[in-house]
Amino acid sequence: MFSKETIQKFQNTSTPFYYYDIELLRKTLEALKKESDKYGYVVHYAMKANANDEILRVIKSFGLGADCVSGNEIKKASEHEFEHIFFAGVGKSDEEINTALDRNITCFNCESLQEIEVIDELAKKKNKIAQIAFRINPNVNAHTHKYITTGLEENKFGINLWELEDVVMRTQQLKNIKIVGIHFHIGSQITDLSAFKSLCMKVNEIQNWFASHNVPLEIINVGGGLGVDYHEPNKNPIPDFESFFKLFKDFLEIRPNQKVHFEIGRAIVAQCGSLISKVLYVKKGVSTSFVILDAGMTELIRPALYQSYHKIENLTPSPLPRERGDSQQAGGVRYDVVGPICESSDCFGKAMMLPETKRGDLVAIRTTGAYGEVMASQYNLREKVKAVYSE
């Protein structure tokens, strides 16, 4: 929801841009801390969701760790002085591993024996011991979009259960590696919490296996994935962290000296961001009308890539009486809302209900704080997208 003053500010700013509501970000972080601190859980921010410096500054001030997936994310996390840095990713390059070793990160989340052997070799050259967690593929269905499901055997991520024994035994022989934990991540935008319950059950079994093989673990990292409400951002601006963390408290069996870690991205930043754009043209098609925006898939690729829904609001509704037409229904007109890029997939939503819309109107594409700005590209030699902050 935007105040009159905010909309006025938008009108004097060139579009498109991301707008970040910093107060909402703070409230979200307060809620997250309140619920996770109840159980002594350690939360890392999955920086891939949004690596904007202003956003990182706010998140860092709440004492979260950083979950990084590239050498550059590690550099950024250490510039911002995040306390703990974890390094995940199925394809860590030698250069990135060296960056991580030089910065003495807390833990490498490792996805194969070959990767662990490379880390061992590079750590040896630097006379260092690298702490690692095994990223294990638990084969748990997250019931989310197939492109953002990661914990099934068919996915490229993690060490499969049947190879675990061999990987652990061989890792124990490496001199420059210290095993500190196990790591899981089953997917993203998970709204059915029962998927996390299934994960807990799997982790309990796997923990028994490690205990029976006398491999001590300090870090039980259950990843991220908590979903947000894309349909009703005003009703549910802050995710239900209470139920989320309580579920782990209820179902995850923890041994003495173990800490539970999370890597949360979307749930922290999604709702605080909106992509603000101006209507360039309204064009009548054969069966529908198009609203053509000055923002496109170059600024927000999620609808084109995952067919994801984002609520779209016209912030400057027409003062004129509405045109009558077949597509008109109570409360508005249905439009296909599209961008200016030369691709048919450059579409933010089909048959979206909006008040009658005209050239020059301002539009907000909601819930775009996560995987929005970070996934922007300069395809068609577009300008780099700008950001504006509430404070």
| Contact residues: ligand LLP, CB under 6 A | 46, 49, 67, 88, 148, 150, 185, 188-189, 223-226, 263-267, 302, 306, 371
Q: Quote the least distance from Cβ 379 to ligand LLP, whole Å.
A: 17
Position of tokens 């991220």?
Answer: 224
CB of 175 to ligand LLP, least distance (A): 27
- Sign for the CA dihedral angle at 358, 360, 362, 363 comes to positive
Whichever of 16 and 265 has its CB closer to ligand LLP, that residue is: 265
Helix, strand or coil, per DSSP, at residue 320: coil
CB of 244 to ligand LLP, least distance (A): 11
Chain position carrying tokens 């002594």: 40
Of the candidates 243, 231, 69, 226, the residue with the CA atom closest to the CA atom of residue 148: 226
Q: Which is nearer to ligand LLP, 237 or 265 (CB)?
A: 265
Shortest distance in whole angstroms from residue 270 CB to ligand LLP = 8
Amino acid at 240: D
Rounded Cα distance, 57 and 55, in Å:
5
Task: Give least dist CB 308 to ligand LLP, A.
Answer: 6
Q: Which two tokens stand for residue 208?
A: 């028994």
Angle at 297 between CA 293 and CA 299, to 5 degrees: 85
CA-to-CA distance for 36 and 366, rounded, in angstroms? 27
Strand partners, 283: 290
Cβ closest to ligand LLP, residue 128 vs residue 259:
259
Q: Give the whole-angstrom CA distance, residue 314 versus residue 42.
A: 40
Shortest Cβ 302–ligand LLP spacing (Å): 5
Q: What is the DSSP string of 299-319?
A: T--HHHHH-----EEESS--S
Least distance between ligand LLP and beta carbon 33 (Å): 16
By C-beta, is 185 or 366 nearer to ligand LLP?
Answer: 185
Report yes or no: 109 and 150 within 8 Å, Cβ to Cβ.
no
Cβ pair 236, 229 in contact under 8 A: yes
Minimum distance from residue 166 beta carbon to ligand LLP (Å): 23
Kindly state the smallest distance separating residue 356's Cβ from ligand LLP, in Å: 31
Query: Of 46 and 113, which has the nearer Cβ to ligand LLP?
Result: 46
Least distance CB 309 / ligand LLP (angstroms): 11
How far is the C-alpha of 22 from the C-alpha of 62, rounded, in Å?
13
CA–CA separation, 187 vs 283, rounded Å? 39
CB of 142 or CB of 354, closer to ligand LLP: 142
- Quick one: 46 or 292, whose CB is closer to ligand LLP? 46
> Of 222 and 333, which has the nearer Cβ to ligand LLP?
222
Of 73 and 356, CB closest to ligand LLP: 73
Tokens of 58: 């706010």
- The upper half-sphere exposure of residue 172, i.e. CA atoms within 13 Å in the direction of its Cβ, equals 11
3-state secondary structure string, 111-129?
A: CCHHHHHHHHHHHHHCCCC
Question: How far apart (Å, rounded) are the C-alpha atoms in residues 241 and 189?
Answer: 14
Closer to ligand LLP at the Cβ: 73 or 361? 73
